[in-house]
């Protein structure tokens, strides 16, 4: 869904035209993206962002989008932006959680904020400041902007029913990151399987369950031809935050007009994708239901067990990494002041006591698809 120009951005567009003397030479930012533009809600916003920036600047500033693998692999984007090999990247911070444990907190995490709560935290809380500190404290020289919402995931695709927490014991599930570590605490065997291989993995009974993308991006993968049960809500990722990262020196070299234009475009993208994502995902779920997929709520016992396991994991991670604790506590203190619908299953959880920083002992579990 293409973003609509806000009044503020319309004024910014006018201002950009008056700054032609300062920005006479066109500027292009080479920008690899982490999800292909064919994926609704995840990759498509990069195209909308590039169009918006080009429109606002009258063509004086453009993003040269590079599809996944087109010269830069997904896991290389952050390092290449930081060292200046590429100008920018359109990504999600969960890809960096193996290197920066708190990164997932800014991308979508178990029982975390929905899109509206993230937006409020970015705009009226400490979200933007902490997001930049995430990279600054890690010595990664990028400027970061939360730039779009990719949508909430479901609880996953299941080849067998989960009636109680005992059914998770021995479950072979394709899931990554903090969600994988929560499932492992309940006895699941978690693994990484490329998204394109999931239909075959289900067909050959190598896995019993899998999480992949939000529903709008899940449906084109064809999983509904192999699996007929989805659990909701997506407790492990109630929202997907997409970021624009720009090499810090490259960002500093941009004119004030161009920096302001990019910031305004990302803010507009956050608003437009928040507004459009719920409808996009709801329509996708309805389409999956019409394909014969049963959309079932998690049993209360299972959701409670998952929440308890997350609280335990969050405490452990906070004791190992002070910034993880600081960021999580700030998010939850902010959320505690906001009304949250109980039915989402995403009420705040408490963070751990402060402790010295340390790396996660299981970095592979933090890697996304």
**What is the pLDDT at residue 369?**
56
- Listed residue (300, 310, 24, 280) closest to 181, CA to CA: 310
Tally of domains within the chain: 2
In a domain, 303, yes or no: yes
Do 76 and 111 belong to one domain?
A: yes
* Cα 157 to Cα 226: distance, rounded to the nearest angstrom: 10
Q: Are residues 146 and 161 in the same domain?
A: no
In a domain, residue 286? The reply is no
Q: Computed over its alpha carbons, how large is the radius of gyration of the chain?
A: 20
Say whether both 34 and 101 belong to one domain: yes
Give the 3-state secondary structure percentages of the chain, helix then strand then coil, rounded to 5.
50, 15, 35
Q: Is 369 within the bounds of a domain?
A: no
- List pLDDT tens digits, range 176-213: 999 999 999 999 999 988 888 899 999 999 999 999 99
The reported pLDDT for the residue numbered 341 is 53
Let me know: does 39 contact 217? Beta carbons within 8 Å.
yes
Examine the domain organization and report whether 331 and 218 are in the same domain. Answer: yes
Q: Which residues are registered as beta bridge partners of 91?
A: 243
CATH number reported for the structural domain that contains residue 115 in this entry: 3.40.190.170
Asked if residue 1 is part of any domain, the answer here is: no
215 and 327 together in one domain: yes
Give domain status of residue 289, yes or no.
no
Structural domain boundaries, residue 319 = 156-234+298-364
Same domain, yes or no: 224 and 353: yes
pLDDT at residue 364, as a whole number: 36
Residue 368: predicted pLDDT: 54
Task: Kindly give, in sequence order, each residue whose CB lies less than 8 Å from that of residue 45, ignoring residues fewer than 6 positions away.
Answer: 90, 147, 148, 150, 242, 269, 273
Mean pLDDT, 10 residues at a time, over the chain (369 residues)? 49 47 78 95 96 96 95 94 98 95 97 97 98 97 98 96 97 95 97 88 94 92 93 96 98 97 97 92 94 96 98 97 97 88 42 34 42
**In the chain, where does DSSP find H-type helix?**
7-18, 44-57, 77-82, 115-124, 127-137, 177-185, 198-203, 215-218, 248-253, 256-290, 300-320, 322-336
| Cβ-based neighbour number of residue 69 at 10 Å | 10
Same domain, 205 and 181: yes
CATH at 225: 3.40.190.10
Residue 239: CB atoms within 10 A of its CB come to: 25
292 in a structural domain: no
Domain assignment present for 90: yes
Instruction: Kindly state whether residues 36 and 166 are assigned to the same domain.
Output: no
Query: What's the rounded Cα separation, in Å, for the pair 307 and 298?
Result: 12
Whether residue 80 lies inside any domain: the answer is yes
- Local structure of residue 70 (DSSP, 8 states): S
Q: Are residues 167 and 308 in the same domain?
A: yes
Same domain (yes/no): 35, 163 = no
Q: What is the pLDDT of residues 329-369, one digit of tens each?
A: 999 999 999 875 543 444 443 333 333 333 333 333 444 55
Please tell me whether residues 209 and 264 are part of one structural domain: no
CA distance 137 to 160: 43
CA proximity to 218, closest of 117, 167, 297, 289: 289
Predicted pLDDT of residue 229: 97
Q: What distance lies between CA 270 and its chain's CA centroid?
A: 12
Asked if 77 and 22 sit in the same domain, the reply is yes
Phi first, then psi, for residue 165 (nearest 5°) are -65, -20
């Amino acid at each position: 869904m293409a973003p609509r120009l806000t009044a503020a951005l319309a004024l910014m567009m006018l201002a950009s035209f008056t700054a032609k003397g300062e920005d006479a030479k066109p500027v292009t930012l080479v920008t690899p993206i982490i999800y292909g533009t064919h994926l609704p809600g995840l990759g498509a916003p990069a195209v909308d962002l590039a169009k918006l920036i080009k429109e606002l600047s009258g063509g004086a500033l453009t993003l040269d989008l590079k599809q996944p693998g087109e010269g830069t692999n997904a896991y290389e984007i952050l390092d290449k932006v930081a060292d200046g090999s590429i100008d920018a990247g359109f990504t999600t911070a969960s890809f960096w959680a193996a290197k920066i444990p708190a990164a997932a907190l800014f991308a979508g995490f178990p029982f975390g904020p929905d899109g509206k709560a993230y937006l409020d935290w970015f705009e009226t809380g400490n979200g933007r400041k902490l997001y930049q500190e995430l990279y600054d404290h890690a010595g990664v020289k990028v400027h970061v902007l939360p730039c779009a919402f990719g949508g909430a995931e479901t609880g996953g695709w299941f080849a067998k029913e989960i009636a109680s927490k005992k059914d998770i014991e021995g479950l072979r599930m394709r899931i990554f990151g903090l969600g994988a570590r929560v499932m492992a605490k309940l006895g699941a065997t978690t693994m990484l399987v490329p998204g394109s291989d999931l239909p075959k993995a289900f067909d050959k009974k190598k896995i019993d369950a899998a999480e992949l993308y939000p529903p709008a991006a899940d449906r084109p993968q064809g999983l509904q031809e192999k699996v007929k049960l989805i659990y909701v809500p997506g407790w492990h990722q109630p929202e997907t935050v997409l970021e624009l990262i720009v090499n810090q020196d490259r960002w500093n070299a941009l004119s004030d007009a161009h920096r302001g234009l990019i910031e305004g475009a990302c803010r507009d993208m956050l608003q437009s994708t928040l507004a459009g994502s719920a409808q996009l995902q709801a329509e996708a779920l309805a389409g999956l239901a019409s394909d014969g997929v049963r959309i079932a709520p998690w049993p209360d016992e299972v959701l409670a067990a998952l929440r308890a396991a997350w609280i335990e994991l969050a405490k452990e991670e906070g004791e190992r990494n002070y910034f993880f604790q600081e960021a999580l506590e700030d998010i939850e203190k902010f959320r505690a002041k906001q009304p949250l619908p109980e039915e989402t299953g995403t009420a705040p959880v408490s963070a751990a006591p402060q402790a010295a920083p340390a790396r996660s002992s299981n970095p592979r579990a933090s890697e996304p698809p």
